[in-house]
Structure 1
Amino acid sequence: MLTRPRSLETARERTEAVTEPIRSSVTSLTPRENIYNLPNLLTVSRLIAAPVTAYLLVHDQYTWALALFAYAGITDLVDGWLARRWKQQTVAGSVIDPGADKALMIILTVTLAVKCAIPMYLATLILGRDASLALAAIYYRYASLPAPKTFMRYWDFTLPSAEVHPTTVSKYNTFLQLMLIGSTLALPVVTGSSHGLGILQGADLHQAMTYFQWLVAGTTAWSGLSYAFLKDAVTILGSDEELKAKQGARGRAIIGVTFGSLVAAAVWYAVNDDEDGTTEPAF
């Protein structure tokens, strides 16, 4: 009676002695990155700046909102330059950096759409593109994550599984979207329509903004669809080429179906716009 617990304990110790080296070997084979560096810190600060900018905009603090938006734009340039110069590029950074850009774009797009500063069709395209890419990213992350696929490992970005390579048109589109948001934020400041600086007080820039909105709408549609057709936009890490090809095709199909539907919806909004696509800002 007294030897049975002792036997169980001995068996457990032997099992642990055998499995521990195996567990350690598996852990050591999984590559990890150091994500705690200045470029990633700047990226995270830009992520935090997004809701703060929207808060200022909602409370009609246009000058401060424009200033914080400018900070976000500057850090967007600086963090990538520092990462390349200091050789601190990480897969996590390649995911968080565009994520911060998109968070800023999504939050401000929603805010400006609510304030009637941008038309509904344009907001549909911008938000729809990001939503489609986000759905595909969720799939890519899960499909390419090395086993075991657990909830904690899914959100552990020190475990690289796929790399995103923005397409050329996507880079131009991101720049144009940021310029549009910045111009829309600056409009009440430079015209003095909402207690701004009044540099161009009395100027009617709404027609020019409408043309700019059309340009951004076109490049946004082109950019989103490019991810559905270009195979090198996302690189899935791994050695099974056949499996990676299937995963890539499925991800592109997700983007094509979802964003293609939203492009059609945006066209419908634009055609049926009672104001012919011209949106008068609420400020």
Structure 2
Amino acid sequence: MIVNQRRKPNPAVRAEKIWTIPNVLTISRILSCPVLGYAILHDNFYVATGLLVYAGLTDLVDGYLARKYNMGSVLGSILDPAADKALVTTLVVTLTARGLVPLPLGIIILGRDVLLSLSAFWIRWKTLPPPKTFQRYWDFSLPSAEVQPTFISKINTALQLLLMGVTTVSPILAIDITLPLQALQWTVAGTTIWSGLSYLVGRGGFRVIKPPTKGVRT
């Protein structure tokens, strides 16, 4: 006779505090993305520029607080790049829709992010301590893997944000910056492909968090 026994959660897995000021600021950046997209689609580039300034300032502040007051968390290591990607995705989709970003470049950027997002779901499931349940999968107070962006990925994210920021501001500038924008577009296309390959075929990108074993009775 087969007896179904419900496995108890591993007591060695410790929950962490997730509602920190840096995390709240990061979440606010994510929530501002729909407003940013709406502003761009309706040609309100002054509001869009203001939201980009807000995103940049909160990014600096939450990073400073996390380092200065030891407010870093595993969730924060996931939310911060997620906020950057939400911002970039919003800008890519809306600026491409407005004809300010070439369609092939938009496809390259979004295609890379889709592939990395799918791999992130698999990594979360693979590294989640047992029992692997749907509820525990979405409980981000139970960390299993920490995002560690590669060097080229950091460069690529910075260049993408620079390109999207300059493109957003370009309609309200008094000078024509078409040629510098085209050069930056080609550069971003190259770094996007390079960084995507560094995750998919290279090493790094995340670190598995092993639960402590000392002092835990079995």
Task: Provide TM-score, normalisation by structure 1.
Answer: 0.70
CA distance in 2, matches of 1:183, 1:101: 16
**Residues 1:162 and 2:145 aligned together:** yes
Cα contact 1:51–1:104 (8 A) shared by 2: no
Equivalent residues in 2 for 1:75-114, closer than 5 Å: 75-114=58-97
1:207 matched residue in structure 2: 179
Please state how far the C-alpha of 1:128 moved relative to its aligned partner: 1.0
The one-letter code sitting in structure 2 at the alignment partner of 1:218 is G
CA distance in 2, matches of 1:187, 1:152: 45
CA distance in 1, matches of 2:18, 2:73: 7
**Residues 1:33 and 2:16 aligned together:** yes
Cα contact 2:10–2:130 (8 A) shared by 1: no
CA distance in 1, matches of 2:10, 2:194: 42
Equivalent residues in 2 for 1:176-187, closer than 5 Å: 176-187=159-170
CA distance in 2, matches of 1:225, 1:35: 31
Equivalent residues in 2 for 1:7-26, closer than 5 Å: 26=9
Higher relative contact order (CA 8 A, sep 6+): 2
CA distance in 1, matches of 2:202, 2:147: 12
The one-letter code sitting in structure 2 at the alignment partner of 1:37 is T
Higher helix share: 1
Decide which structure has the larger Cα Rg and report it: 1
Aligned-pair Cα RMSD in Å:
1.7
Q: Give secondary structure in 1 for the equivalent of 2:87.
A: helix
Please state how far the C-alpha of 1:187 moved relative to its aligned partner: 0.4
Please state how far the C-alpha of 1:204 moved relative to its aligned partner: 2.5
CA distance in 2, matches of 1:34, 1:229: 33
1:228 matched residue in structure 2: 200
Please state how far the C-alpha of 1:228 moved relative to its aligned partner: 2.1
Residue-by-residue CA offset, 1:175-228 (whole Å, 9 max, x unaligned): 1111111101100111xxxxxxxxx2xx33212211110011111111111112
CA distance in 1, matches of 2:12, 2:183: 54
Task: Provide TM-score, normalisation by structure 2.
Answer: 0.89
Residue-by-residue CA offset, 1:17-47 (whole Å, 9 max, x unaligned): xx9xx95xx5642211001110001000000
Please state how far the C-alpha of 1:236 moved relative to its aligned partner: 1.8
CA distance in 2, matches of 1:76, 1:125: 25
The one-letter code sitting in structure 1 at the alignment partner of 2:112 is R
Among 27, 46, 50, the residue aligned to 1:67: 50
1:5 matched residue in structure 2: none
The one-letter code sitting in structure 1 at the alignment partner of 2:17 is N
Q: Which runs of 5+ in 2 are unaligned?
A: 212-218
Please state how far the C-alpha of 1:237 moved relative to its aligned partner: 2.5
